[in-house]
Structure 1
């Protein structure tokens, strides 16, 4: 809940509708201001509001004009059932959400509360993180899954405990590690980042724990290891699942005893290091196969942070794309480039198996190849793969390891064909929430795609009242 009374602007040329919404919000302690058109609304200081609620159809200009005028203040669109398709267009123009008129009081209050909560969360997100190149990198997104991540970072960072970050490749695990370090009591000391998969197995123990002169062929000088270099600060071990077993045993001693021994030395050294580890692999499964020490897994997994893949962040993907596009344009000196409408839809529909890293590379390619001021889908250099191959089995849908289905041509379906096939096949047995969860999208996105593809919601059978 906000620490201050939220200030909301209602824009509607219907005085009865406007008055009803105002009374509802004021009963829940919101400060409400009214306007009957875009012109009257623009005479107010829009930056002073926390939310704008606007009818889609206004006498002078459509309510979507307020999306640009009020930015970054969120705009919630109200619309009659007859113009729901226009509401979807309003979302594409940047409206934060929409509600049907006349609004259901509970639905409207829940929607307003959620939007205001997201606004408040924007001010409590982890701070900007400087990468090695000196540019500013931030964690972007406000979907529910990322809100959980932000909360876990905020609570975990001050505690001097080991953290295990799990997530697919390209989801931003190093950004989480940097946020944990910067919000901890060790922020004034070093953060040492190590990619365990990038160091040859024969050298990794020497790199991590150091060695004495003459310890092995080629050891002509004494070397301080990266664990010792992080003394007093934080050590981030990315892709820890690639660590050899011998190095795992040495790392376990660091966690248990706070001691290291350089290769070729008989002396132990005390170190005070906070360890943050990350992996895209299942460490518990690796421990069952003997590839990862189970005792080390338990030592690492004191606190776990799970990063969602990009395909499960439907609400965030365009925001992330806009930020990455702006940075790519700055790097290549093409400040006026924008994503075409078709490209924005393409970005939303594509499953991004490589996550944010793949999206960043595609946008970089688009900036380089685009002609004119718009980036078109072909400029991104991606094409939707067969849905049955790109949606992981964790979603309960198709997987490349599943046996072939009766329909031999299903693997050749486009994403939209697969969506339509899945919805029609399962909507009698699943609720809208369950359908959206299985497809890895939000309910709002499910509704939008239904409208675009002309798939009506199946009406429940009438009950016999006799």
Structure 2
């Protein structure tokens, strides 16, 4: 099939992976981000079926019991949004949100444009990998608590700031448990609209809503006998909290539009960066649900409390990036590492990853120097560049970290400046900033109001 360079040039303006598909599921155009994500060449991807590329399947996804955005758009001629599990170039599962739109041409042909919103960064290190490269006692103690929690079936509630790796912690608990060979399913409560949540959680049957063309098993049903992880549980609307509590108590639910009761056996893990008890007090989170999910509570320490692990983490992340992109390994200079060591990382490990991604991209020869390390524009934050914290005994390092936290520029100040920098970098696009931070737009909006940032300039 010949490449359509006009459509290709249009979708290349998209930063997100984007693809245009004909009525036979054949790709007629794909942008660079799509090709990079799925490890295909733009010259050879045209003419291949979308399900072959993203699902590694010889048949369309609706034949495997999933909602097919392509089929839904061509049937209704309306936009359609759905969550899917895709597989990247290394055959790793990648949870994505697909937004599909109809495209009609002048000669009557109809195509489907799909944009793919990735919900997790596959380059993140697992808890086990971080345990192997890091030796900070506060982190090792947290991992040991996870290991012990894995031996029980009690629900686990993970607490931690944005970017500390709560998703990795949930996976670690599952992998250490007796259910390790069973399904592991996760859902970010902040990543999908409330209107889609019930369908994603419980599934639906034909006719449950307009445009519903078939049966879909929900995530709870998919997780049966395994582990179900709900991230950002504090973002769950109250209406959904009631329904979720019923499922947790009884183990039973019905699909949307269905009449049969389905029973499941799942181990529940939840995570949040919010104070749920404070939310219980103000009425935004149900007290009975809190006590149902908070069987074992585990705090995951922020990166500033495990500062001695930064060099090993940075090197491991750099190595992973180079393996992913099939390029020569690059490395950080001693001065660049000291620059990282003196930073408070309000965005934690996720921010470290973003900083290193940017540094590697702008380094011309693979050698990352201090000038390549851009700390979110917060170069005026209190830093300990004259004191190598990695060389200090752990108690002394913690004391220095504590002094930095108590300095005039508090952690809240650091977070406010970091968010302000991201807003500027992304032209005040709230959706893009929320994705960069790994939080919901609702959470970002609350932070913008709390820090009195330039909210009137923020756009959707």
TM-score by length of structure 1 reads 0.55
Could you say which residue in structure 2 is the equivalent of 1:154? 147
Work out whether 1:349 is the aligned partner of 2:342: yes
Structure-2 residue corresponding to 1:273: 266
Select which of 415, 429, 439 maps to 2:382.
415
In structure 2, the residue matched to 1:263 is 256
Q: Is the 8 A contact 2:341 2:384 kept in 1?
A: no
Does residue 381 of structure 1 match 2:374?
yes
* Distance of 2:157 and 2:260 partners within structure 1: 30
1:132 paired to 2:93? yes
User: What do the CA deviations read for 1:350-409 (whole angstroms, capped 9, x no partner)?
Assistant: 1111111111111111112112352112212225627xxxxxxxxxxxxxxxxxxxxxxx
Q: 1:37-436 maps to which residues of 2 (within 5 A)?
A: 132=93, 137-139=125-127, 140=130, 141-382=134-375, 385=378, 414-416=381-383, 435-436=399-400
CA distance in 2, matches of 1:371, 1:271: 53
Please report how far the alpha carbon of residue 219 of structure 1 lies from its aligned counterpart in structure 2 after TM superposition. Answer: 2.7
Cα offsets for 1:126-177 (capped at 9, x unmatched): xxxx953688943212211111112111111021111111111111111111
Residue 207 (structure 1) shift: 0.8
Alpha carbons of 1:252 and 1:181: their partners in 2 closer, same or farther (altered >3 Å)?
same
CA distance in 2, matches of 1:135, 1:358: 13
SS where residue 313 of structure 1 aligns? helix
SS of the residue corresponding to residue 202 of structure 1 reads helix
Which residue does the alignment assign to 2:402? Answer: 438
Q: Distance in 2 between matches of 1:366 and 1:333?
A: 17
Considering Cα pairs closer than 8 Å and 6+ residues apart, tell me whether 1 or 2 has the greater RCO.
Answer: 2
Quickly say closer, same or farther: Cα 1:353–1:416, change in 2 above 3 A: closer
Structure 1 unmatched ranges of 5 or more: 1-129, 387-412, 421-430, 442-466
Unaligned residue ranges in structure 2 (runs of 5+): 1-90, 95-121, 388-394, 406-460
For residues 232 and 339 of structure 1, the distance between their equivalents in structure 2, rounded to whole angstroms, comes to: 45
Structure ID, larger Rg: 1
Q: 1:215 to 1:315 in 2, by over 3 A?
A: same
Aligned-residue offset at 1:340: 1.3
What root-mean-square deviation, in Å, do the aligned CA atoms of Structure 1 and Structure 2 show?
2.7
Per the alignment, residue 73 of structure 1 pairs with none
CA distance in 2, matches of 1:360, 1:261: 41
Whether the aligned pair in 1 keeps the contact of 2:338 and 2:385 (CA below 8 Å) is: no
Whether the aligned pair in 2 keeps the contact of 1:384 and 1:414 (CA below 8 Å) is no
Q: How many angstroms apart in 2 are the aligned matches of 1:417 and 1:366?
A: 20
Normalized against structure 2, the TM-score is what?
0.55
**Counterpart in 1 of 2:17?**
none
Question: Structure 1 138/131 Cα, relative in aligned 2: closer, same or farther at 3 Å?
Answer: farther
Q: How many residues align?
A: 276
Secondary structure of the equivalent of 1:203?
A: helix
Flag the 1:181–1:418 CA change in 2: closer, same or farther, 3 A: closer
Deviation at 1:437, TM superposition (A): 6.0
User: 1:315 is paired with a residue of what secondary structure?
Assistant: helix
The 1:364/1:154 distance shift into structure 2, 3 A limit, reads same
Go from structure 1 to structure 2 and tell me whether the alpha carbon gap of 1:240 and 1:180 turns closer, same or farther (over 3 Å shift). same
Q: Secondary structure at the match of 1:160?
A: coil
